[in-house]
Amino acid sequence: MRSRWIFAASTLLYLAAGTWLSAGNGFLMGDALSRVSATQATLFSRDPHLSAIGFVFTPLTSLAQLPMVALAQWFPGITVWGLSGVLMSALFMGGAVVMVFGIGTDRGAPLWLSGGVALLFAINPMVVFYGANGMSEAPFLFCLCWAMRRLLRWLRTDDANDLTACGIALGLAYLTRYDALAPAAAAGALVFVVTYRRCRGENFRWHCAIMDFILVVLPVAAAFVVWAATSWLITGQAFQQFSSQYGNASILQQSSSSATETTAALEYSTAATLILGPVLPLLVPIVGALAVRRRDPQVIVPILLCGSVLAFQAFSYASGSTFAFLRFYVAAIPLAAVLALQVAPVRGFPPSRRPGRHATTAATESDRTSGRHRVRAGLGAPAVGMALTLALLAGAIPLTAWGMSSHAISVQEYSLGAVLFPDPDNASERRADERRIAATFATERRLANYLDAMDLPRGAVLMDTVYGFAVVVASHRPDQFVVPSDRDFVRVLNRPAERGVKYILAVPNKGRGTSDAVNRRYPTMYENGGGIATLALDVPNDGAGQPEWRVYRVLGAD
């Protein structure tokens, strides 16, 4: 019952915050809005089909929004303001809070500690923001915390059900973000080693270790193979994130980004990790020392699973295959939370459907943790340590909030200042930049309203979704657009007038605009209409990083 109330309260918090940010202030994240657009394309585009969801990103965040986007024909704000994404992330982040609380209760930690850590995790400003904005961080954190909870249980119960659930969680994590392969590999290695050591002296120890290894990695391997094979069968490319003109590799190249100098990359990764987990330099050695003293191996789980995500992101940034985004290091937050719970000694026995023969019995653990530990440390020492840990976590929240306001390290989050603390009289360059970022996609919404008011027929507007996803998702008539997910897009692009196209939306043929399909087919479209259209409207853009739009009227259109 407590878990239900925690889930409901945290979900409502994130849903309210997200609705206020998006519908109330027009603050939208590009990746979140693009996923809403992809989901909308599967239901309400000119050519609706499931593969329109796209294969550059893994599909869970979009698939989870399908039931909500289906209601958009009656409640347009669900897509126009990205509210389907807000609800999706709020639900997943609420689930992540429940998992953190559950890790504490499974351990037998006092209710005040489990509830306090869960509360501090829930109100962490980074958690609130990404639980409210429709990005992939919320489902990823949920799956990561779920995997940690089940793996921590398995270390004590030796229950195959826990191991299977851990594998399913990691498989779903991969369908959320590609970097889930790192914790999946870490979990598989840990399970293999633990099972091999548990079966010491038994003739079939290798068989046991391999079987448990398969249980935890098979869902991830299945998700990897099925998603890659589906992408290859439909698009001819197995890993579009790396090979497609819309993937990260192409975006980095189009943005003239290159591999960051190793020292600078490590400095940024370290700073980002410490901003999101300022207490980690204290918690890791303290909890590690307690684990050695108590002979408690559970500390390995959060360090391996969350640490592998952080290491993967640091390596990716240093190698130039990703961006310097603070959100990529968000795994530091659950790492700190779970370590804080492990300050409490283990008591009782977690729920288990079928404990294995290597399960640690409740009596044995009670003797080890409640008996010997209390004799050595004193009755009041654990409670004092837990209270101090809570105080440390609470003190870390202002540091995280401060880090999110830094333009140098939080390029996506710092503009929240213009929304949270509006100051119309502030004419500084920084505040002007914050306002431009907060106004991102406002021009696209106005452009969508302009096209809607023309009452155009289906397929009358040709465009690519490199930038145009924000126009499509803001429109009340998504079927008026011809976009790359339409199966006849290339044929229409080659002969727009013959196929009923009346207008073409063009962006500058530079930067990311070089990957725009219209520019690739008609390189001078933006400058002069490419010989097939005349300029109808020039649309300056108020948003940061967004193009100046031009609307061209197709020659020969009725």
Token pair listed for 315: 């390596």
Across the beta sheet with 481-482, the strand order is: 481-482, 461-462, 503-506, 549-554, 533-539
Instruction: Please say whether the beta carbons of 532 and 435 come within 8 A.
Output: no
Alpha carbons within 13 A on the beta-carbon side of 548: 8
pTM of the model: 0.93
Q: What is the pLDDT of residues 286-341, one digit of tens each?
A: 999 999 999 999 999 999 999 999 999 999 999 888 889 999 999 999 999 999 99
Task: With a cut of 90, say whether residue 482 has pLDDT above it.
Answer: yes
- Show the DSSP H helices in 45-82 as ranges: 60-63, 66-69, 77-80
Distances in whole angstroms, Cα of residue 116 to Cα of each of 55, 316, 386, 395: 40, 34, 10, 13
pLDDT of residue 116: 97
Task: With a cut of 50, say whether residue 104 has pLDDT above it.
Answer: yes
- Residues pairing with 552 in the sheet: 504, 535
The stretch 62-91 carries a mean pLDDT of: 95
Q: Range with the lowest mean pLDDT among 55-69, 164-178, 344-358, 399-413?
A: 344-358
Q: What is the pLDDT of residues 105-156, one digit of tens each?
A: 999 999 999 999 999 999 999 999 999 999 999 999 999 999 999 999 999 9
Task: With a cut of 60, say whether residue 366 has pLDDT above it.
Answer: no
Distances in whole angstroms, Cα of residue 36 to Cα of each of 13, 472, 476, 477, 489: 21, 10, 14, 15, 20
pLDDT of residue 436: 87
Instruction: Please say whether the beta carbons of 265 and 310 come within 8 A.
Output: no
The stretch 9-16 carries a mean pLDDT of: 98
Share of the chain above pLDDT 90, in %: 76
User: Whole-angstrom Cα distance, residue 537 to residue 551?
Assistant: 5
Confidence class for position 174, pLDDT limits 50, 70, 90: very high
- Report the residue count for the chain: 558
